[in-house]
Amino acid sequence: MEQDNKPKTAGMQDARPGGPRRHGRPFRGNRPHGAGRPQGPSSSGMGAGRGKRMMRGGRNRPPRRFSPSGGPQQRQAPSNPEYKSQTLNLPPAGENIRIIPLGGVEEVGKNMTAIEFRDDIIVIDAGFQFKDEATPGIDYILPNTRYLEERKEKIRALFITHGHLDHIGGIPYVIDRIGYPTVYTRQFGAIMIQKRQEEFPHLKPLDVKVIAGNETITCGSLKVKTFPISHTIPDSMGLVITTPYGDIVFIEDVRVDNIKGVPTEEEVRQYEQFKGKEYLLLTMDSTSIEKPGFSLSESVVIENIERFIKNTTGRLIIGTFASQVERIIAIIKAADRYHKKVVVEGRSMKANVEIIKLLKLAEITNIIPVEDIDKYPPDRIVMLVTGAQGEEFAALMRMATKQHKQVQLKKTDTVLLSSSIIPTNHSAVVKLKDNLYRSEAKVITYLDSDIHASGHGNRDELKWIHEQIKYRFFMPLHGNHYMLRQHAEMANSIGTPKENIIVPDNGSIVEIYDQGKSIRVLKEKAASNLVLVDGFAVGDVQEVVIRDRQLLSQDGMFIVFAIIDSQTGRLRKSPDIISRGFVYLRESQDLLRDTRNIIKDTIENTANGMNPLNIEMIKANVTDAVSRHLFQETAKRPVVIPVLLTI
């Protein structure tokens, strides 16, 4: 381990460099193919989690200032001639091995990691993250690829561990930026990627290579061997990256198939390949580390759902994630065994069923179109639908709100919500359940019966994997910071020295050096501030824009119109005020009267002796004075927009 005057080491500490972190200013990027707006992530050295916190609106924030060119409607980032990359002039990796998590270690989602050795880089996964309350109006959040863009000529391959969107969803948005490397993945993932790519016809075709479950690919000075792992989607794989100084075992989303806490014989056989050798580094999924024991086996979930399929007397409607492919196959097979027809509703669910058919993962003969649902008795119908997370326009919500054209819920229907609740979707799921109960259908959730199992291993499953692989260094991946810290603590509790454990942030440049004997975190960071998909724009929507959206959603807006005499600096008439989402003006006459007086006094006091008038200064003072007054009177902070005209 090295001291602070050398590249910073982290151990089990936060990998952020010490001292306060400043948010870098964005710069103007280039237009992607077919996009109508400029793009380009900034490089501030900020982790995504920290960036979100800075973007959150709040009641205690000081009054904001606006200008005609920088108001809340602006959506493209201004140019920044002072921008300097932290990594542009970083010396080559040489004989050191660099592992750079570009996403997925300060959140659950947007997974992307780069591994660099000599003049070669491989990239692992390219996912996105869905928006949350901190990013209103945003479609998706992407990993920041600035580090890779600066070195795209070194990128030899993009490996995709499996076909979930948090691992493949970012490909159409980043593949051009990183030079269109060859994409290596297994068959199911390859089809998922190609299907999604069809939604972006302006992009040139991808070079996708389908690989086997145990195959070795040479990428310059690195060799990558794949191995199958257990997850909720077929063809999930881990990687072993071979270097002259030791091998890296890279495991993303994983669980251990088990029977009442005992790993199955297949799992034991699969991990026997790691026996008898010490590996240089282990990286692994941390999502469910805080859950004790082993997770519920998927086989138990299937048995319970099959019991409902067998015994339900009315229609059975099963809402689950479209990504739960193994469960979908099992449900269709079980329905067939009991001579029931299956109706599939929801675009993503239909797409994945088509992939199942294409790959012949199951013989499917019992699916009927929704238009034929009334041709069969209710007890012969099983429906597989999207929307268990309460998505507004998904199939299940449309049924619950009587918006579905063919399916109206009845009291004889049974609805299984075969999924857990994603925390950011809690209110949407509550709304869904309210509507389902209003329909008088019988509703059963994973809290009522064991009808859902996670694709991420619980604490004892991850511990079991650790015990199968002897390694020198450990770096947890895939999860929020507290999840990574808990995973690090667990690794330490079973014998990994603290100084051999790195807990990274997005953009941390972790380096194994001295021929594999030591590990450190460089003081330089890869860019990690938020890169957002916002309509046609792909890039960093400015912090000011996100904050404006948050404030508008919380406290509305307050627009001031005033006409100033350019000669005297006095108002020509009483200011006009428009309020939206703040207060009802007809019931707030005293507030309006006092606010108009403050506007008048502020404008005339500021303009007194000013020749010519500095409109920007007057606007700033009006914004400050009005914001302060409104907060004192209402404890709210609407977005204040002064519109000043001179005559």
pLDDT in tens, 55-101: 333 333 333 333 333 332 222 233 333 345 678 889 999 999 999 99
Which pLDDT tens digit goes with each residue over 432-452? Answer: 999 999 999 999 999 999 999
Evaluate whether 527 touches 85 at the Cβ level (below 8 Å): yes
> Which residue type occupies 216?
T
Give me the pLDDT at residue 637, please: 85
Is the pLDDT at 585 greater than 80? The verdict is: no
- Under a CB-based contact definition with an 8 Å cutoff, are residues 171 and 183 in contact? yes
Contact predicate 526/113, CB 8 Å: no
The predicted structure's pLDDT at residue 13 = 52
With a cut of 90, say whether residue 128 has pLDDT above it: yes
Scored b (16 or more CB within 10 A) or e, 191-202 reads bbbeebbeebee
Please list the alpha-helical segments (H only) found in 201-343.
265-271, 298-311, 325-337
Which of 456, 466, 478, 487 is catalytic? The answer is: 456
* Other beta carbons less than 10 A from residue 325's beta carbon: 25
pLDDT at 22 over 70: no
d(CA 41, CA 540) in angstroms, rounded, equals: 5
- Looking at residue 213, what is its pLDDT? 82
This prediction has a pTM of 0.75
Among 210-214, 261-265, 278-282, the range scoring the smallest mean pLDDT is 210-214
Span 2-8, mean pLDDT? 40
- Is 456 catalytic? The answer is yes
pLDDT score, position 302: 95
The structure tokens 């003072």 sit at 621
Q: What is the distance between the alpha carbons of residues 118 and 364, in angstroms, rounded to a whole number?
A: 49
Mean pLDDT along residues 323-337: 95
129 three-state secondary structure: strand
The secondary structure of residue 296, as a DSSP letter, is P
Q: HSE-up of 70 (CA within 13 Å, CB side)?
A: 13
Q: Which of 3-12, 136-145, 193-202, 456-465 has the lowest mean pLDDT?
A: 3-12
- In Å, how far are 9, 96, 525 from 522, measured between CA atoms? 7, 12, 7
Give pLDDT, residue 584.
73
pLDDT beyond 70 at 629: yes
Q: Would you state the pLDDT for residue 228?
A: 96
Res 177 pLDDT > 50: yes
Q: Decide: 622 and 644 in contact? Cβ < 8 Å.
A: yes
Q: Which residue from 452, 456, 388 is spatially nearest to 425, judged by alpha carbons? A: 388
Cα–Cα distance for residue pair 329/356, rounded to 1 Å: 8
pLDDT computed for residue 555 by the predictor = 78
Domains 100-292+456-539 and 298-445 share a fold: no
> Cα(552)–Cα(57) distance, rounded to whole angstroms?
10
The residues spanned by each domain of the chain are 100-292+456-539, 298-445, 556-646
- Measure the CA–CA gap between 528 and 102, rounded to whole angstroms: 7
Give the bridge partners for 479, in sequence order. 107
List, for residues 292-316, the tens digit of each pLDDT value: 999 999 999 999 999 999 999 999 9
Would you tell me how many other CB atoms lie within 10 Å of the CB of residue 519? 27
Looking only at the bridges linking them, the beta strands covering 341-345 and 381-385 are parallel
Task: Report the alpha-carbon distance of residue 528 to residue 42 in Å, rounded.
Answer: 8
CATH 3.10.20.580 fits 556-646, yes or no: yes
Sequence-separated (6 or more) residues with CB below 8 Å from residue 303: none
Residues in contact with 13: Cβ distance below 8 Å, sequence separation at least 6, in sequence order: 503
CATH class of the domain defined by 100-292+456-539: alpha beta
The Cα 387–Cα 402 span in angstroms is 14
Q: First CA to last CA across the chain, in angstroms?
A: 69
Report the range of poorest mean pLDDT among 81-90, 159-168, 596-605: 81-90
- H helix intervals, 277-387: 298-311, 325-337, 347-358
Average pLDDT over residues 377-403: 93
298-445: CATH architecture: 3-Layer(aba) Sandwich (3.40)
**548 band by pLDDT with thresholds 50, 70 and 90:** low
Strands 208-210, 183-185: pairing kind: parallel
CA distance 633 to 602: 18
Q: Is the dihedral of CA 452, 455, 458, 463 positive or negative?
A: positive
Q: How confident is the model at residue 250 (pLDDT cuts 50, 70, 90)?
A: very high
Active-site residue, from 235, 285, 460, 540: 285
